[in-house]
Amino acid sequence: MALQNEPEFIPALIVVDMQEDFCPPNGSLAVGDARSIAPLINSLLELPIFAIRIGTQDWHPQNHISFASNHVPPNNKPFESYIEMNNPAPGKALETKQQRLWPVHCVASTSGATIIPEISDRKLDVLAKKGMDSRVEMYSVFSDAFRNMDPALARQSVDRDVKALLEEKKVTDVFVVGLAGDYCVKFTAIDAARAGFRSWVIEDATKCVDPGDGWQQALAEFEEVGVIVTKSDSKELARLRT
């Protein structure tokens, strides 16, 4: 029970995209040193304080818009090329956004889409598959790249309504870890804040595609919306362990 005048604290953990295609040595979109954060993530999964532990998985169709190979030369270079992407929401097709192109990764039901064996996924209460709509990118587990959070539309991209799951457990605080800090972790944490939760990113439990400029940009965006960045040895994390 919370002490008088102390904010209620019911935490949840979201483990983002700890999948083979995002990890060395063989991942098609491998993030540097990504496997090294697995022990820390497992230690968090073991903590009994979390009301719910949610894992996410990119689960793309072969014709996904973010795959460079689905576009014509010369504008189809992974990491380098960008295309115009249209909002899939009804009546918003004229709204566009620049989309960076990636190598083919995390295709549904392939080995590259599986959670790495170093993660104790048996400790996850829910595994949400995202990025299933071929027309639109989805970094956040809450919404697509156009911030479409309407469950009826989002269900085309993600198979679980994570906001509803958190609300059902009366969660107040969402802790986000995993891959990658400057993409799916970033947007999941930002959306958690926009959905009304206190949102936290555990910095040493994430790795970035671009650990330099990409992470600095993420930090600036976190500050704008009130996402709190902490570390595993911080007093905030000590609270979870007690």
**Cβ 133 vs Cβ 99: under 8 Å:** no
pLDDT of residue 6: 64
Inter-residue contact 103 to 70 (CB < 8 Å): no
Tokens of 49: 């304080």
Question: 20 with 97: CB under 8 angstroms?
Answer: no
- φ/ψ (deg, to 5) at 202: -90, 105
116 band by pLDDT with thresholds 50, 70 and 90: very high
Beta pairing, strands 82-86 & 96-100 = antiparallel
Asked about 17 being catalytic, the answer comes back as yes
Q: Place 7 in a pLDDT band, splitting at 50, 70 and 90.
A: confident
Question: Catalytic one among 17, 58, 173, 191?
Answer: 17
pTM for this prediction: 0.94
Catalytic site residue from 173, 184, 186, 208: 184
Q: Is 77 marked active-site?
A: no
Q: Distance (Å, rounded) from C-alpha 235 to C-alpha 150?
A: 36
Q: pLDDT tens for residues 139-178? A: 999 999 999 988 777 778 999 999 999 999 999 999 999 9
Mean pLDDT of the chain: 94
From the list 47, 57, 60, 46, the residue with the least C-alpha distance to 16 is: 57
pLDDT at 43: 96
Catalytic residue among 129, 130, 163, 207: 130
- Residue-wise pLDDT for 53-84, tens only, equals 999 999 999 999 999 999 999 999 999 999 99
- The per-residue pLDDT for 2 is 46
Q: Which two tokens stand for residue 205?
A: 């439990």
Please, how many CA atoms are within 13 Å of residue 176, restricted to the half-sphere of its CB? Answer: 32
- List of residues 6+ apart from 95 with CB closer than 8 A: 86, 87, 89, 146
4 pLDDT above the threshold of 70: no
Cis peptide before 180 (omega within 30 of 0): yes
Domain ranges of the chain: 11-60+112-241
- CATH top-level class of 11-60+112-241: alpha beta
Beta carbons of 138 and 145 less than 8 angstroms apart: yes
